[in-house]
Amino acid sequence: MYPKIYLRKESSISILQGHPWIFTHGIQGNPKLGDGDLCEVHTESKFVGIGYWDTKTDIAIRILTRSVETIDESFFLKRLTALKAEKERFLESSNA
């Protein structure tokens, strides 16, 4: 689906525990991706998620999802709609 990026063994632990960022030093090799390109993230044996690439900071990949899915307009619409519904639960009892 998207280019595959493999993590170094020592950086796989925090990602598997749910951390959403992958730092440059935690990636195997030197991927040829442009800023904003989507990529699949893998350990040696496991799919971890899909994220977007960034060369301008030490955070090389920010995970968007831990599922195999297409990242498109409907992905973001679904996520933002769910976020709005979650926040509206709290607005009923708030004067903010």
Q: Is 37:1 a contact under the CB 8 Å cutoff? A: no
Helices H, strands E: what count in the chain?
2, 5
State whether residue 4 is helix, strand or coil: strand
What is the average pLDDT across 30-50?
95
Q: Is the pLDDT at 23 greater than 80, yes or no?
A: yes
- Does the pLDDT of residue 48 top 90, yes or no? yes
Token reading at 58: 């030490």
Q: Flag whether pLDDT at 35 surpasses 90.
A: yes
Q: Does residue 11 surpass a pLDDT of 90?
A: no
> Which token pair is 59?
């955070």
Mapped onto helix, strand or coil, the DSSP state of residue 72 is: coil
- For residue 49, the model assigns a pLDDT of 97
Task: Provide the pLDDT confidence category of residue 65 given band limits of 50, 70 and 90.
Answer: very high
3-class SS of residue 38: strand
pLDDT at 80: 96
